[in-house]
Structure 1
């Protein structure tokens, strides 16, 4: 991932991660999903990244959305 992008969530569910990404983009927040799931057995995580300057806005929007991600904040 390029510099300046922060991982803010991890998901197990591809559909939920896509819905959240689209919701963020509709509110003007760029978002990228990095799918680390195994294609055969579907274990692993889908990571959601946003630009550093939009982390706070993205967290508020996701909090309002009420996602069921595994971890509330997973920043590396």
Structure 2
């Protein structure tokens, strides 16, 4: 991943991260998830990243939709 991507959300819940990614994409904000969990135990985190130029829009989307 190049330096133009920035983290906007971290969770231990894969489903929540994927739902957020889908919501961001539907709002016109390209997003990716990076799963850093140890799959056998679901220990670790899942990160949602967006392009730096979309960071403010992504944070606004997260706040408007009350995503924790």
For residues 46-65 of structure 1, the aligned pairs below 5 Å read 46-65=46-65
What is the rounded CA distance, in whole Å, between the counterparts of 2:22 and 2:49 in structure 1? Answer: 13
Partner of 1:25: 25
TM-score by length of 1: 0.85
Q: Which residue of the partner structure matches residue 36 of structure 2?
A: 36
Structure showing the higher strand proportion among its residues = 2
Name the TM-score, length of structure 2 as normaliser. 0.95
Cα deviation for residue 52 of structure 1 reads 0.4
Q: Which runs of 5+ in 1 are unaligned?
A: 69-76
Q: How many residues align?
A: 68
* CA–CA separation in structure 1 for the residues paired with 2:67 and 2:50: 16
Q: CA RMSD in A?
A: 0.7
Extract structure 1 runs of 4+ deviating beyond 2 A: none
CA distance in structure 2 between the aligned counterparts of 1:8 and 1:20, rounded to whole angstroms: 10
